[in-house]
Structure 1
Amino acid sequence: MKANGEHFENGAHLIPVNVLTVKVNESSKIKGTSNPIVISTQGQTLISSAGRGSKLNIDLDYSIPEARSASTDILGKAAGKFTQMITYTVSALYF
């Protein structure tokens, strides 16, 4: 997964994408090795070594960790919708 830009955007108002962390929710039907990922413009693997199946779903949790400086990155920004394209790529490997 990766963000297509460095910021969530609302006109001239910007919030860095790295305020948001994504992790695989325990309710996902896809099981494998996963770790929380801080969103960035660099491609990162969200889950690896997943089992096989055609009707598996992945549930994701999005959060802003307390460690982030909300006062400088988020609070005080203009009200409204901030957007950014996040690309998820799924690859299947067969041996």
Structure 2
Amino acid sequence: MNLEDFVDEEVMRIVRRSSIYKYLKTSIDEDFADVSLSLCSVSVLCYLKTKHKKQLFTQKTLCDIVKIAARRLLTREGIYKCEHVNA
């Protein structure tokens, strides 16, 4: 399954409410971004495990899914900055 397939409206809602999304919109602090990305990926994991019970997710895969969702959200808002979201 392609990582893009895991990014649905619920994943994007989780990401939109996260501090990593606020970071990507404002580019504040690099250390803050690492912690925020990890926290958001845990929230996304909780959701995805209910929907894809037999699927295994690595931390890197989850971070990539969060980045894909963030890129979609930023693109919708017209503020996509490719240097911050590389998935």
Q: TM-score, normalised by structure 2?
A: 0.29
- Structure whose CA Rg is larger: 1
Which has more helix, going by share of residues?
2
Which has more strand, going by share of residues?
1
